[in-house]
Amino acid sequence: MFSIIQAAGWPIWPLIACSILALALVIERFLSLKTTKVAPPRLLDEALAVSRTSVPTPDVVTQLEQNSALGEVLASGFRALNSDPRCTEVDLRATMENTGRAVAHRLERYLSALATIASAAPLLGLLGTVIGMIEIFGSQSSAGGAPGGNPAQLAHGISVALYNTAFGLIIAIPALIFWRYFRGRVDEYLLTLELSAERFVRHLNTLRGK
């Protein structure tokens, strides 16, 4: 492996840095976008059940808020009612929407960085290719136009060109695939949060009249 890195020349190092960063982002997103951390399947039903007759105590609301991203959105509705039992439906929606926007921002964190790596890696590979081609032409000119030029420098230039192109694609393709996967996962979670919040607002409206 080290011999390949040596053959690829210095342009390979930015690509290696991109690969390490992309791997770290993919692992972080896999851990952060687990269903249990974002939208547990039965959490909404449990929140509706525990508040069937009245708003839960602040301790219960705090536990709900710390449960998951969905729990944070639902807890914001409970907190709005606890602070003002007669607050309007508009205020309830505004409070939960503000919390939802903050949650959505966290869910989308690092996705733009992953997309940037997917876009930049082929360009960095192309940069290595150009540098390799420059070395190839340099070997020809330094040999005074002799047939074949400098074989060692010619081989090195070809290695730089091909290895950097390959590394750029090897990094960009998985990064793009994972970005699309996480983008779809986040969109699905946001839809779940939106539908759950809408159902929960209607439930809280019934509590306001009790």
pLDDT digits (tens, 9 = 90+) for 62-101: 999 999 999 999 999 999 888 888 888 898 999 999 999 9
Query: What was the pLDDT predicted at 174?
Result: 96
In the structure, what pLDDT confidence band is assigned to residue 144 with cuts at 50, 70 and 90?
low
Query: Which ranges in 108-208 belong to alpha helices (H)?
Result: 111-142, 151-208
128 touches 12 (CB < 8 A): yes
Residue 110, phi then psi, degrees to nearest 5: 75, -5
Predicted confidence (pLDDT) at residue 147 exceeds the cutoff of 60: no
CA-closest candidate to residue 116, choices 186, 187, 30, 18:
18
Count the neighbouring beta carbons within 10 Å of the beta carbon of residue 179: 24
Least confident of 133-142, 188-197, 199-208: 133-142
Global confidence as pTM: 0.83
CA 111 to chain centre: 3
Q: What is the mean pLDDT of residues 157-164?
A: 78
Distances in whole angstroms, Cα of residue 175 to Cα of each of 21, 23, 24, 120, 123: 10, 8, 11, 10, 14
Which amino acid, residue 13?
W
Q: What sign results for the dihedral spanned by CA atoms 110, 111, 115, 121?
A: positive
Contacts of 86 (CB under 8 A, 6+ apart): 208
Find the length of the chain. Answer: 210
Distances in whole angstroms, Cα of residue 72 to Cα of each of 27, 47, 65: 24, 11, 4
Look over the chain and give the mean of its residue pLDDT values, rounded to a whole number: 87
* 91-133 tens-digit pLDDT: 899 999 999 999 999 999 999 999 999 999 999 988 888 887 8
The residues spanned by each domain of the chain are: 15-208
CA-closest candidate to residue 154, choices 138, 174, 166, 173:
138
Count the neighbouring beta carbons within 10 Å of the beta carbon of residue 57: 12
